[in-house]
Structure 1
Amino acid sequence: MNFALFMFIALLLTGSVWLLDHFVTGKGRPEGVKEPWWVEYSKSFFPVILIVFCLRSFLVEPFKIPSGSMIPTLLVGDFILVNKFDYGIRIPIINKKIVEIGNPEKGDVMVFRYPKDPGVDYIKRVVGVPGDKITYQDKQLTINGEKIKTISTGEYSYIESGLNYATTARYNESLGKHNHEIIVQPEQNTYYPSQVEDFPGRENCVYKQNEFTCTIPQGHYFMMGDNRDRSNDSRYWGFVPDKNIVGKAFLVWWNFDHFKRIGTKIN
């Protein structure tokens, strides 16, 4: 079950018990008689659940990184905080925006609901916003005819799976207001045609050998992982609609295996 929905149900249950006791069942209770346990618990938990629900729904929400698609920016096991406010105020559960505040910008690291299964949260980097024409050819990203600047910074090694080490080429990429690191494996394909799915707006994309070009429709975003060759992203399943946006990742607040990462800002 969606956690926000679970919290909302808990909020309704505890709040209803509290109100029912206050206005109905508690009226005839003799003074000094202890409240039933379910009433006592509801009164205790309701304000806590309300505060947590409001914080998670409108201000900040925690997430855990389950995969290596955003290495080296985010590592497996990172616990991160996501700003729910920057991209507008949304009604919890249905995620409908009711107050415009801002929109995702190129280079932002964003959490969103996976278009193929909205019950699953994904995190990637925004590489294209509505109206952009992006091309990815031979590991070079081009947006609206302008090549995105990348500078080689040597090699990067990490544990890919189990005890297997992967050594990749590392680059500093300048995307929008963000300077961040990406890793690529030059000998691998830019994308794998067999993994490209049929997705809404597929007609906006042209796939060629070791190259693809997409024009992003209004109200949608194109996402890619910083671990470019180990990321299941918009290359394969398409655009992220605005209604699927969860928020902007901004801080690593915990990692059981890498304590030095605690407090790391996400760029």
Structure 2
Amino acid sequence: MNFALILFILLLVSGAIWAVDVFIMRRRRAAGSKDPWWVEYGASFFPIILLVFVLRSFVFEPFKIPSGSMIPTLLVGDFILVNKYAYGVRLPIIDKKIINVGSPQRGDVMVFRYPEDPSVDYIKRVVGVPGDTIAYQDKRLTINGEPVEVTQVDDYLHPERLFYSHQFVEKLGPVEHRFLNDEDAPAFINDASAFPHREDCLYNHSGVICKVPEGQYFMMGDNRDNSRDSRYWGFVPEQNIVGKAFFIWFNFNDLKRVGSFH
């Protein structure tokens, strides 16, 4: 369901009703007479829909985390806010950038439209920016020939599945974050799709090495062995970017998570 398109249609309909009422019908209506119900409701909803549309299109948009691919940073059921203008102002519906504000940086948690099905929103961490050479070999990350700084910390207990994963702290640019590795999961990628620019990637028994093309980004989940990401379906084009995730505003199962993550 394209919620942005539905909201835009509601905005047009309610706006048209409001305009017709203000500029045409009120002048013809007898003094003191009551507005027709459809005019009253349509016109009253217009400013509310307009406010929601502007906020959602240009400022912040809410999302719910549907899977565990970003554990331990984001958990299933987290409701997050996404900064829509962090990477530039885009026209609603057609998603064309009209003002360049900034670009994704390594370490950012980014929401984007899934390249294989743009109607679906995905969330992953930016690992590679245009021009980077990303190597994920034997479950260790190297960027442009430099191993990423990693420190092992206490194992992570998955509360619902009651098993442990090895947990590490990794530094990407200025961002420090935790990620997980499962000791018994293989390092190789056995079912990567035939994605655009696949010729820029080399798959081997230890994992994958990719040169990130211009205008593309390499994304990975923090739950490294339980995330289908750029290792499997390729790069995220700049035009698929939705925004930068930065804030957990609710979680029905754990209110302590509210306000965390930035």
Q: One-letter code of the match for 1:176? A: G
Q: Which structure 2 residues correspond to residues 161-200 of structure 1 after superposition, within 5 A?
A: 164-193=161-190, 195-200=191-196
Cα distance in 2 for partners of 1:192, 1:235 equals 7
Cα distance in 2 for partners of 1:238, 1:125 equals 14
Question: Residues 72-100 of structure 1, C-alpha deviation per residue, up to 9 Å, x if partnerless?
Answer: 00000000011111100000111111101
Q: One-letter code of the match for 2:132? A: D
Secondary structure of residue in 2 paired with 1:43: helix
Q: Does the 8 Å CA contact 2:189/2:207 hold for their aligned counterparts?
A: no
Q: Which structure 2 residues correspond to residues 1-267 of structure 1 after superposition, within 5 A?
A: 1-159=1-159, 164-193=161-190, 195-266=191-262
Cα distance in 2 for partners of 1:115, 1:62 equals 21
1:230: Cα distance to partner?
0.3
Question: Residues 139-190 of structure 1, C-alpha deviation per residue, up to 9 Å, x if partnerless?
Answer: 100000000011000210114xxx5323100000001110000000122112
Q: One-letter code of the match for 2:177? A: H
RMSD across aligned positions (CA): 1.0
1:28: Cα distance to partner?
1.4
1:30: Cα distance to partner?
0.5
Q: Does the 8 Å CA contact 2:220/2:230 hold for their aligned counterparts?
A: yes
Q: One-letter code of the match for 2:253? A: D
Question: Residues 211-236 of structure 1, C-alpha deviation per residue, up to 9 Å, x if partnerless?
Answer: 21000000000000000000010111
How many residue pairs match? The answer is 262
Q: Does the 8 Å CA contact 1:150/1:174 hold for their aligned counterparts?
A: yes
Question: Residues 98-145 of structure 1, C-alpha deviation per residue, up to 9 Å, x if partnerless?
Answer: 101100000000000000111110000000000000000111000000
1:22: Cα distance to partner?
2.0
Q: Does the 8 Å CA contact 2:189/2:231 hold for their aligned counterparts?
A: no
Cα distance in 1 for partners of 2:33, 2:188 equals 70
Q: One-letter code of the match for 2:249? A: W
Secondary structure of residue in 1 paired with 2:27: coil
More displaced stretch, 44-53 vs 17-26? 17-26
Structure 1: gaps spanning 5 or more residues? none
Q: Does the 8 Å CA contact 2:169/2:177 hold for their aligned counterparts?
A: yes
When the two structures are superposed, what TM-score results if normalisation uses the length of structure 1? 0.96
Q: Does the 8 Å CA contact 1:118/1:244 hold for their aligned counterparts?
A: yes
When the two structures are superposed, what TM-score results if normalisation uses the length of structure 2? 0.98
Runs of 4+ in structure 1 over 4 Å off: none
Cα distance in 1 for partners of 2:171, 2:88 equals 25
Structure 2: gaps spanning 5 or more residues? none
Cα distance in 1 for partners of 2:37, 2:163 equals 56
Secondary structure of residue in 1 paired with 2:186: coil
